[in-house]
A and B are shown apart, each in its own frame.
Chain A
């Protein structure tokens, strides 16, 4: 037996993160060539936007895709952000799970610091080419250039080339990578992603050059930067056992009491006392000495203790007005309505739902509504079916809001439904961050937002219908009324003057009564007047 154990031991070794993702690239959104191209652009743009906003710079981002033939593309993304200091460049771009975002709770696009280095890794795996980075932190500083690979065994940067280059930009970062991909327009395309990004980031200007060398510019609609999101400490309701144990191990606090008060939001001495009593652990127990069983008791005690909801000023919604502005500049509809819901909480994480609906105009009439999903200002283009946003739309009764809808389907009509979730920690169903998880609190908030927009939509649609009916009636009068005069003229040998008098009086009579009629008129079959004036009774005769 021992021999076998020794034999097995030879095969047992640490798997590097890089190796793991090499084998599981679908987890990060590199399932196929088309999606890979989108993911690479998305990771680079998300990083640029986060960096600009953190530095309070109005983002101006240029994206260029160059078709290198044989399903290879050069992706170039350049921003006017704060730049990256020289020694950090290799780690940020060529070390997986390195970043500033994972260890803090603050609303941002990226969360784990895995995205851009995964893109670099993907480029390396499919083309073998290094990724080229140029970054400059101030006008007087030189622009630093790196060409990087990732050592997949050790998950560390491998510097192929480094140096100083001429770069006209005052500050910013430029990334160039060659990847295997495929480019198509339409649904789930880079074009669509950038357009949607422009919608929910009205303060951003994007200049985009497609592989077909077409240039698209998405100009900003406001020069106001979003308020800076506040960093918050986790709320006790949001922690799970593993995280609690890790936090207990890493904390600088000495006792359990100071641990809870320092590391969590909304925990005061009273709350700690209650938690500790329920867990039967003295508050002055050393934090580092809490064992597994005690940690489990603490988790249980937290669940049983009433704790104030986390602060919500850490959430930065886009704002109903700006959201509408963003949608207006990219989508030509005739009616828009939007709402930002008050903050709410799921599992200790505060979040805000925003919704905007565009209707009519140039939107296609006889098709299912387009759904635009966003989390922390990032468009979600894949896995629409498994997303909480989609579920909420499907389970809302759109018939009540003047739309057509077959059961279990999206509403049909010239309609775009946009939903945005802003949260310090957006719950995704997978690491690829494509669909929002179905927390009941989130679904409830989305539905409330949809209903509020729906009511505005109904108001508009009904009004439009009324105006339409009114015009139709006006047409009726003008079209058919002269025939009444004509017929009476024939029947009674009227003069032309008398005939004119009939027509003008009749017009006045009908126009005057229209208001009243609207109230009483039953819906009738208007198919060119199939309705007889007096109508018969039952049709029992074979005549």
Chain B
């Protein structure tokens, strides 16, 4: 997935399309797939949310003439970046617009929306267009050597993730060029930084021979792509260890595994279809007698919505059962609630037991 020159062709194609329409006295149009859960299908053989055929087409009108001009301007910026092999963060792109006069962006949210639109129009990811996100990916430690390039000299750099001390290797915003060496048996993706710290501190990766990755909430695209590439190239299974709540299930895990509706046009690359759910499951809450919090109204609504509209949940009866179980007990538990049985209970008991018995997992 290197930056391809066909992005340039796509940009020019679209621009000349618009140009020809105008010269022919027709309203120019822009069209992109409808980005929503209602426009995706889930097939486990493919492994991720796939876009359906619903498209959204906007023709230029008086009220959209400004955003239309902005879209073309962003395309121009992208063309420039690709041609000069440069990059701009989303924030930088927003600042570049400041010398566009009347069509400059007033808020970064406006430029972000237009970048998302362009991404969807071309069915590509924004990195291909020369735009990179502000945020970086997750933290990594364990039995892994990442082979990167020195940004100034282009020389190979080997990063040994066993030698990070109590710190961590952090996933860069673009991961396409990385290569890996590892003999670990699996990747453990962890939701919270707190739990990750505990496992690093006690060198759990050594004990279990694995790679630890902290997701930090819903994983960034770079982090998802990193896990995906690592998993694909080294044939490593990916185990997810998140909070026992609807956010952990339906936002973090579901997005990591099969992607999202909003960014469905890039799910193909930015998801990890072979991820598996280790915990915390609703049954774990009962089995390990975890301290809980009551579900809020929004949680209940989110779960009900998931049961009704999420193609992933609708496909897996196990998940439906688990979500209904949570609805019935009206409780949720955090990963760190395991500390109830001692700070290192998670290392000495929970993880080993769970790894032993995959029947307690969810798909």
Q: Which residues of A contact B (CB under 8 A)?
A: 473, 476-477, 479-481, 483-484, 487-488, 490-492, 494, 501-502, 505-506, 508-510, 513-514, 517, 521, 524, 526, 528-543
| B19 contacts A533, C-beta separation under 8 Å | no
Q: What CA separation (Å) do A506 and B26 show in the bound complex?
A: 8
Please name the residue on chain B nearest to A502 by beta carbon.
Answer: B22
Q: What CA separation (Å) do A505 and B109 show in the bound complex?
A: 31
| B61 contacts A479, C-beta separation under 8 Å | no
Given contacts A510-B61, A532-B110, A536-B116, contact A479 B102 (CB under 8 A): yes
| A502 contacts B66, C-beta separation under 8 Å | no
Q: What CA separation (Å) do A430 and B79 show in the bound complex?
A: 82
Q: What CA separation (Å) do A479 and B101 show in the bound complex?
A: 10
- A487's partner among B23, B64, B73, B120 (CB-CB below 8 A) is B73
Given contacts A491-B11, A492-B15, contact A529 B67 (CB under 8 A): yes
A489 to chain B, nearest CB (A): 9
| B262 contacts A541, C-beta separation under 8 Å | yes
Q: What CA separation (Å) do A536 and B113 show in the bound complex?
A: 8
Q: What CA separation (Å) do A513 and B63 show in the bound complex?
A: 12
Chain B 210-251 residues near chain A, CB threshold 8 A = 217-218, 220-221, 251
By a CB distance below 8 angstroms, the chain A residues around B22 are: 488, 502, 505-506, 509
Q: What CA separation (Å) do A473 and B116 show in the bound complex?
A: 27
| B30 contacts A514, C-beta separation under 8 Å | no
Given contacts A537-B261, A543-B220, contact A492 B16 (CB under 8 A): yes
Given contacts A533-B114, A534-B117, contact A481 B261 (CB under 8 A): no
Q: What CA separation (Å) do A524 and B67 show in the bound complex?
A: 13
A487 to chain B, nearest CB (A): 4
Please name the residue on chain A nearest to B26 by beta carbon.
Answer: A509
| A541 contacts B100, C-beta separation under 8 Å | no
Q: What CA separation (Å) do A529 and B113 show in the bound complex?
A: 11
Given contacts A514-B62, A538-B262, contact A532 B114 (CB under 8 A): yes
Known: A484-B72, A517-B61, A543-B218. 18 other contacts (CB 8 A): A476-B65, A477-B65, A487-B73, A487-B76, A509-B26, A521-B63, A528-B106, A529-B67, A533-B64, A533-B67, A533-B71, A534-B120, A537-B36, A537-B38, A537-B39, A540-B260, A542-B251, A543-B133
Q: What CA separation (Å) do A491 and B64 show in the bound complex?
A: 20
Please name the residue on chain B nearest to A531 by beta carbon.
Answer: B67
By a CB distance below 8 angstroms, the chain B residues around A536 are: 35-36, 113, 116, 262
Q: What CA separation (Å) do A494 and B12 show in the bound complex?
A: 12
| A534 contacts B30, C-beta separation under 8 Å | yes
**28 A-B Cβ contacts within 8 A?**
A473-B63, A477-B65, A480-B102, A483-B103, A487-B76, A491-B11, A506-B22, A509-B27, A509-B60, A510-B62, A517-B61, A521-B61, A529-B110, A530-B110, A533-B30, A533-B64, A533-B68, A533-B114, A533-B117, A534-B56, A534-B58, A537-B34, A538-B36, A539-B262, A541-B251, A541-B263, A542-B218, A542-B251
